[in-house]
């Protein structure tokens, strides 16, 4: 019940805040932070629960963004349809990639997912319909209710963030989550306990891909532009993976904490220092957390709470 | 007694190395069966083939009259083949109780409250109930061995394969694990015991097969098999 009260509150703030006379930059920066909440939450379903480290978020995010552009350019589809199409494409790619790569383990799986980014980027660079290497300028449609398109996109990504967290929480607490944890700890023992490991990994990969694809859908309209180099940027890998590691991978709340912390910090550094400094800060934070707190901020909390309760 | 497990002409190679060659054996329902052989003789490969951890072998494996060779491991578990591992593989991020909930949920398809009640009963039988809420990564060696057996029991097996469940245990701990296996067999579960502790195999098994270099070299009652010159040669290299 607590979760649903929190989710309703987050939804109310996410949808209601853009209606208030708040500085536009809050929504401009907040959109990016919430995109990372969706990406990190999606990444954690496969990477955190199942232990399969996916370096390919830009591929899923990118295919979602391009699916949205194609639907917009071809049919003039509204944003809701673009997001649904992007989720379908991301999920389909997750399923396909899973089928081809999930028999690989550890570093081999991780490397295979990196390759997908370059394959997708090369395809888009050579597809003239979506602008090829030079990209495509997009004209935002008129927006109702909200004062600007950016405010509307903030509300949309807030709804998506709440939905993705609810899905991740369901997965974690259901029989799927228990099976994924079992196969993360020992795939052979999990099979020996009747867990259909390949099928569960496919479910996780498809769900994770669908959510990442959906996260990519509003991005072209947010930027009013799309081009392959920035869409398939490895920064999305670092953002999603880094957020989950920093927040904590064993619980659905970890990626939220990590993404809000990391995303906000990046936005502050971008404005006050420089964009390049971002990467350095993320790198240092990742090293610190991997070495000093491998279970992330949530793990640190648990340790502190454990000590005080003794 | 009817045959529960029938293995016919089973062969398994890794590249050019033949780990099993033309192995044929049958195990009856309710039998206590011992599988012995020196290191590298193919014991674990054989049970990996039976449990489905290894695939693409030649030959036939029939369980309860059904050919299971092409089934994935989880399907074989659901049909009643459970095993423990030579090196314990607990789900380290879970508590002892949660370890048992996995098979109860995936094999028995029980609701969480039913699964918990049954899991606690199994843990009580095995003397692990005080550790139910402990993380499995904090268990001692004998507790880990018991957890392996408890988790296998939670899969409601017809056939339990115990792969060196007594390795590294003290004399009294060996007795504890032996008692658990006897109790399970008394409940009608067929048990295959793979073990290097010969006294345990001799006490437990009704019939023993000895493997060497991937072939069955001898089969018979425990007291007679240790006297076989081929078995002595395989173990002692004489």
Residue A20: per-residue pLDDT: 93
Name the one residue in this structure whose structure tokens are 């609701």.
Answer: B111
Chain A contact for B235 (CB, 8 A cutoff): no
Low-confidence winner among A70-84, A269-283, B160-174 (lowest mean pLDDT): A269-283
Structural contact between residues B200 and B169, judged by C-beta atoms closer than 8 angstroms? no
ipTM of the complex: 0.89
Chain A contact for B134 (CB, 8 A cutoff): no
Q: Which of B77, B83, B90 sits opposite A194 (nearest CB)?
A: B77
Low-confidence winner among A32-41, A188-197, B52-61 (lowest mean pLDDT): B52-61
**Phi, psi for B81 (deg, rounded to 5):** -105, 115
Determine which helix (DSSP H) or strand (DSSP E) holds B109, and give its type and residue range: none
B207-212 and B215-220: which strand pairing? antiparallel
Nearest CA in chain B to A197: B74
pLDDT tens, residue by residue, B39-77: 889 999 999 999 999 987 899 999 999 999 999 999 999
**Residue B1: pLDDT over 70:** no
Chain B neighbors of A187, CB-CB under 8 A: none
CA-to-CA dists, residue A12 to A6, A17, A158, angstroms: 10, 8, 9
C-alpha to C-alpha distance for A177 and A174, rounded to whole angstroms: 5
Chain A contact for B72 (CB, 8 A cutoff): yes
Band of residue B237 on the pLDDT scale cut at 50, 70, 90:
low
pLDDT tens, residue by residue, B181-220: 999 999 999 999 998 888 889 999 999 999 998 999 999 9
Band of residue A250 on the pLDDT scale cut at 50, 70, 90:
confident
Band of residue A307 on the pLDDT scale cut at 50, 70, 90:
low
Band of residue B236 on the pLDDT scale cut at 50, 70, 90:
low
CA distance A250 to chain B (A): 9
Beta carbons of B102 and A250 less than 8 Å apart: no
Q: What is the interface size between A and B, counted as CB pairs within 8 Å? A: 79
Residue A47: per-residue pLDDT: 94
Band of residue B166 on the pLDDT scale cut at 50, 70, 90:
confident
pLDDT tens, residue by residue, A140-187: 888 888 999 999 999 999 999 999 999 999 999 999 999 999 999 999
Q: Which of A175, A184, A189 sits opposite B89 (nearest CB)?
A: A189
CB atoms within 10 A of CB A272: 8
Residue B68: per-residue pLDDT: 94
CA distance A189 to chain B (A): 6
A6-20 mean pLDDT: 94
CA distance A103 to chain B (A): 13
B130-145 mean pLDDT: 92
pLDDT tens, residue by residue, B82-125: 999 988 999 999 999 999 999 999 999 999 899 999 999 999 98
Low-confidence winner among A44-53, A97-106, A108-117, B171-180 (lowest mean pLDDT): A97-106
Chain B neighbors of A193, CB-CB under 8 A: 74, 77, 102-103, 106-107, 151, 154-155
A204-231 mean pLDDT: 96
Nearest CA in chain B to A199: B74
| DSSP string covering B158-225 | SEEEEESTTTT--HHHHHHHHHHHHHHHHTT-EEEEE-S-HHHHHHH-SEEEEEETTEEEEEE-HHHH
Chain A neighbors of B106, CB-CB under 8 A: 175, 179, 193-196
Beta carbons of A192 and B154 less than 8 Å apart: no
**Phi, psi for A187 (deg, rounded to 5):** -65, -40
| pLDDT over 70 percentage in chain A | 99
C-alpha to C-alpha distance for A282 and A293, rounded to whole angstroms: 15
| HSE, side-chain direction, 13 A CA sphere, residue A301 | 11
Domain B3-196+208-217+227-236 class in CATH: alpha beta
CA-to-CA dists, residue A146 to A14, A19, A23, A100, A221, angstroms: 12, 6, 14, 44, 15
By CB atoms closer than 10 A (0-12, 13-18, 19+), residue B113 is: exposed
Chain A neighbors of B112, CB-CB under 8 A: none
DSSP B135: B
Nearest CA in chain A to B137: A185
Q: Measure the N-to-C terminal CA separation of chain B; round to a whole number of Å.
A: 38
Residues of A with CB under 8 A from a CB of B: 175, 178-179, 181-182, 184-186, 188-198, 250
Residue B86: per-residue pLDDT: 86
Residue B167: per-residue pLDDT: 83
Chain B neighbors of A190, CB-CB under 8 A: 74, 91, 102
> What residue ranges do the domains of chain B occupy?
3-196+208-217+227-236
Residue A108: per-residue pLDDT: 86
Chain B neighbors of A189, CB-CB under 8 A: 85, 89-91, 151
Q: Which long-range contacts (CB under 8 A, 24 or more apart) does B9-16 make?
A: B9/B58, B9/B59, B9/B60, B10/B46, B10/B49, B10/B57, B10/B58, B10/B59, B10/B60, B10/B61, B11/B57, B11/B58, B11/B59, B12/B42, B12/B45, B12/B49, B12/B54, B12/B57, B12/B58, B12/B214
> What residue ranges do the domains of chain A occupy?
2-233
């Amino acid at each position: 019940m607590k979760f649903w009260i929190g989710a309703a509150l987050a939804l109310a703030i996410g949808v209601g805040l853009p209606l208030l006379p708040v500085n536009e930059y809050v929504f401009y920066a907040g959109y990016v932070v919430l995109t990372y909440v969706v990406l990190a939450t999606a990444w954690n379903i496969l990477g955190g629960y199942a232990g399969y480290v996916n370096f390919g978020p830009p591929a899923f995010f990118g295919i979602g963004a391009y699916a949205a552009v194609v639907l917009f350019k071809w049919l003039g589809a509204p944003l809701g349809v673009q997001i649904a199409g992007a989720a379908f494409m991301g999920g389909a790619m997750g399923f396909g990639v899973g089928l081809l790569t999930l028999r690989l383990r550890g570093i081999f799986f991780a490397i295979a997912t990196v390759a997908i980014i370059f394959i997708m980027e090369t395809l888009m660079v050579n597809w003239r319909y979506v602008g090829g290497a030079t990209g495509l300028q997009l004209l935002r449609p008129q927006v109702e209710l909200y004062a600007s398109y950016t405010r509307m996109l903030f509300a949309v990504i807030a709804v998506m963030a709440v939905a993705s967290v609810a899905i991740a929480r369901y997965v974690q607490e259901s029989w799927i989550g228990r099976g994924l944890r079992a196969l993360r700890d020992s795939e052979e023992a999990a099979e020996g306990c009747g867990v259909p490991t390949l099928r569960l990994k496919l479910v996780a990969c498809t769900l994770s891909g669908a959510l990442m694809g959906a996260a990519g859908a509003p991005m072209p309209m947010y930027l009013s532009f799309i081009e392959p180099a920035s869409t398939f940027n490895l920064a999305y890998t670092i953002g999603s993976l880094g957020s989950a590691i920093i927040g904590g991978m064993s619980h659905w709340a970890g990626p939220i904490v990590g993404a809000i912390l990391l995303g906000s910090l990046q936005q502050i550094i971008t404005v006050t220092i420089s964009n390049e400094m971002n990467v350095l800060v993320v790198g240092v934070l990742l090293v610190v957390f991997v070495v000093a707190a491998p279970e992330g901020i949530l793990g640190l909390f648990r340790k502190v709470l454990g000590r005080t309760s003794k | 007694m009817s045959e529960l497990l029938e293995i016919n002409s089973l062969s398994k190679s890794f590249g050019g190395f033949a780990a099993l060659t033309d192995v044929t054996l049958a195990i009856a329902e309710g039998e206590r069966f011992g599988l012995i052989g020196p290191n590298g003789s193919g014991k674990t490969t054989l049970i990996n083939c039976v449990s489905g951890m290894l695939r693409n072998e030649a030959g036939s494996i029939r369980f309860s009259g059904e050919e299971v060779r092409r089934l994935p491991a989880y399907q074989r578990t659901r049909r009643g083949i459970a095993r423990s591992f030579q090196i314990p593989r607990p789900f380290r991020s879970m508590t002892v109780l949660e370890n048992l909930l996995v098979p109860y949920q995936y094999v028995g398809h029980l609701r969480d409250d039913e699964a918990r009640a049954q899991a606690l009963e199994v843990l009580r039988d095995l003397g692990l109930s005080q550790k139910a809420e402990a993380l499995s990564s904090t268990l001692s060696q004998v507790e880990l061995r018991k957890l392996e057996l408890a988790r296998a029991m939670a899969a409601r097996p017809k056939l339990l394969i115990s792969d060196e469940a007594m390795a590294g245990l003290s004399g009294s701990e060996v007795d504890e694990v032996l008692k658990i296996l006897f109790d399970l067999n008394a409940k009608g579960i067929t048990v295959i015991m793979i073990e290097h502790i010969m006294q345990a195999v001799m006490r437990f098994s009704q019939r023993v097969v000895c493997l060497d270099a991937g072939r069955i070299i001898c089969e018979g009652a425990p007291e007679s098999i240790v006297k076989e010159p081929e078995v002595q040669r395989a173990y002692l290299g004489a």
